[in-house]
Amino acid sequence: MMNITGMLNKVMESEINSLLEVKSRIDDAYVQAVEKLFHCSGKVIFLGVGKSGHIGKKIAASFASTGTPAFFVHATEAVHGDLGMIEKDDIVMAISNSGETKEVLDTLPSIKMIGASMISITGNNDSTLAKASEIALEVQVAGEADPLNLAPTNSSTAALVVGDALAITLSQMKGFQKENFGLFHPGGSLGKQLLEAGSIKVL
């Protein structure tokens, strides 16, 4: 009989250990990325496909809700017109574990012509995407939590955590407060709590 508890624990331990590995390798590139994002006069646009795309959507939502204007663009849609959402004052954050995802790489010539800055989140700083970026954040994991080492698990979790760390660090640097958070979250149970506490201030 399968040891379900043991398998669950093994996956979680694998992901936790991967995060600790990524945390131990935070370098000056992360500092440079935060400083560039802090001084961005435009928007932050996350770009990706597949699981990296799903992670990009969540990170973009975290940025937007904590005071940094951001949204997600699917790389495939980008080359079919959505590149028009990107302007020269924007920062594009491209996510690709391999750094060789064709759909993402296909957007690079146009982004360069537009003049937007590029920050990448990849598992390989020697990849095409990393080398094409002004700042490359290497989020490398030894392998996936999947015993077949195929399903994005450790790599996608690590990218998500790095994105959360960037978003929250930026919000603190900007002096983002509860009343600001409440302004962007007027709905649902969280909005109700903030309304009752008088934390939401209409501009």
Note the pLDDT of residue 91. 98
Inter-CA distances, 128 with 9, 96, 183, Å:
35, 10, 40
* Mean pLDDT within 174-189: 79
Note the pLDDT of residue 134. 98
Cα-only R_g, the chain: 18
Q: What is the pLDDT of residues 129-160, one digit of tens each?
A: 999 999 999 999 999 999 999 999 999 999 99
Global pTM reads: 0.91
Residue 43 has pLDDT above 70, yes or no: yes
Q: Where are the domains of the chain?
A: 14-176
User: What is 14-176's CATH number?
Assistant: 3.40.50.10490
Note the pLDDT of residue 63. 97
* Mean pLDDT within 173-190: 79
Note the pLDDT of residue 198. 66
Question: Any bridge partners for residue 44, and if so which?
Answer: 70, 91
Residue 203 has pLDDT above 80, yes or no: no
